[in-house]
Chain A
Amino acid sequence: MKRASVLRKMQLILGVLLFVGMLFSLYNVFIMVPTEQKMGIVQRIFYFHVPSAMMSFMAFFTVAGFSIAFLVKRNAWHDRVAVACAEIGVLFTTIALITGSIWARPIWNTWWSWDARLTTFLILWFIYIAYLMLRDYVGEDQRGARFAAVFAIIGTVDIPIVYFSIRWWRTLHPKPVLAGGEGSGLHPDMAFALYFSMAVFFILYLFLVATRLRVENSKMELEEIKRLHVLSTK
C-alpha cells in the first residue's frame, strides 16, 4: 500500500535525523551551555521540560484538528491520526509534569504549586486520559471514534477556560511569587540550546507519530484482509 511505504520512509528519515539531533542536543545541554547562576545545575532540565510541554500542546491541537476533520469528512484515517497524537500527547504531558516537578523541588521548595499553568497542564492530562479511556470503553469502533472526536472538541475548548478561571483564582489568593526560570535575558548559548532542543523534540514527535501511524495502518490493513477472508469463505 502507498500509505505504508510513505510512512516507512518517513520513519527512517526521521529516525536518522533524530539520532544525530539528540546526540548534538545532549552535548549542548550538558557540556556547551553555561550553568545558570542562581539555580545551578538543575536548570538544565529546562531544555527538556519546555520542549516537551510545547510538543504536548502541539499534539493536542493536532487531535482537535483531526477530530473536527473526522466529524466533517468521516474519513477513518483522520480518526486514527487523532488517537495516535492523543497517546503521544499524554506521553509528553507526563514528561513535562514530571520534569517540572523535579525542577520545582529545589527552586520553589515544593514539588507542586497550584499555579495556573501547572494546574491547566494537569487538567489537560486528565482530559486526554479520559479521551483514551472513552475510546476503550465504548467498544464499537465507529461509535467510539465519533464520541472521542466530540469529547476532544469539548476538551480543547475547555482548556483556555480552565486557564483563565485558575488565573482568576490565583489573583484572588496571592501566593509567594514564583519567579520562572525563563523570560528575559537568556544567554545566547542557552537560547541556542533551547531552540535546538525544541527542534529535536519536534522531530521526536513526528517520529513517534509516524511510528504510531504505521501500527494503525497495519491494523487497518489487517482488518481489511480479515474482512475479505470472511467474504471469500462464505
Chain B
Amino acid sequence: MLVFCLLVVVIFSFTFDPGSTYSKEAAPGILWVAFTFSGMLGLNRTFSQEVDTGSIHGVLLAPLDRGVIYLGKMIGSFIFMFLVEFITLPVIIIFFDLNLEGHYLQLFVIIFLATIGFVAVGTLFSAMTVHTKTRELMLPILLFPVMIPVILSAVNATASILNLEEWSKILGWIRILSAFDIVFITLSYLTFDFVVEE
C-alpha cells in the first residue's frame, strides 16, 4: 500500500517538467489520487483474509453487536491509511516543492476527515465486494461514485490550503466532510448487520 502510494506520486511527478507552474496546481489532485488509490488497495483486503480462511464466522459468533465489528474494522483501515498518508505527505511536499507555512493543522483536519469518510463507506462496501467474483474490480466501481463529495472537498480544500488561504475559506469543505462522515458512519453502522448476516 505504502510503496504503491509512493509510486503513484513519483509517476505523476514525471508528467510535469520540474519547476513548472502546473505541477503546483496539480499537487492537490495528485495527492488525493495517490491516497484514494492506495486506500482502495487496503480496503480490498479488509475482509478477504477472514472470508478466505472462514474465520469470519468466528468473528460473527462473538456476542457483540455487529456494528461494533464494523467500527473495529473501520478504525483498523483508518489507522493503516492514515499512516500511509503520513509517510507520503512529506514526499509529496518535497517532490512538488510545496510550501505550507504553518498551515499544518488545516491540512491535518482535512486529511483526517476525508480519510474517515473514505474508510466509513469503504469498509461497508468491502464487506460486500469480498463476496463478488471480481473483488478488486468491484470495490472501486461501488466506492468512487459515492466518494465524489469527499474527493471533491478534499482536493479543493487542499488547494486552498496550499494557496495559504485562511480557515474561513475551507470551513465550507470541513462542513461537507463532517456531514458526510456523520451520515455515513451512522448509516453503515446500521446497515452492516444486513451485509454480514448469513
Instruction: Report A's interface with B, CB cutoff 8 A.
Output: 71, 123, 126-127, 129-130, 133-134, 137-140, 143, 146-147, 149-151, 153-155, 157-158, 161-162, 164-166, 168-169, 172
Contacts and interface: CB of A to CB of B under 8 A. Distances in A.
Contacts of A129: 141
Which DSSP category, helix, strand, loop or mixed, fits chain B's interface? helix
Given A154-B124, A157-B187, A127 B133 contact: no
Contacts, number: 85
A150 B156 contact: no
A154 B191 contact: yes
A15 to B, nearest CB: 35
Contacts of B172: 168, 172
Contact of B176 (A123, A149, A155, A161): A161
B93 interface: no
Contact of B146 (A134, A147, A158, A166): A158
A126 B180 CA distance: 19
Contacts of A151: 125, 128, 142
30 contacts: A123-B148, A127-B145, A130-B142, A130-B145, A133-B138, A133-B141, A134-B132, A137-B132, A137-B134, A138-B128, A139-B132, A147-B131, A149-B194, A150-B128, A150-B191, A150-B195, A151-B125, A154-B184, A154-B187, A154-B188, A155-B146, A158-B148, A158-B149, A161-B149, A161-B179, A162-B149, A166-B148, A166-B152, A168-B176, A172-B172
A168 B176 CA distance: 9
A221 B142 CA distance: 31
B183 interface: yes
Contacts of B152: 165-166, 169
Contact of A139 (B133, B187, B194): B133
Which DSSP category, helix, strand, loop or mixed, fits chain A's interface? helix
Candidate in B132, B138, B145 with the most chain A CB atoms within 10 angstroms: B145
Nearest to B180: A161
A48 B180 CA distance: 34
B121 interface: yes
The 8 closest A-B pairs by CB, nearest first: A165-B149, A126-B145, A137-B132, A147-B128, A127-B145, A150-B191, A161-B149, A158-B146
A134 B138 contact: yes
Contacts of B132: 134, 137-139
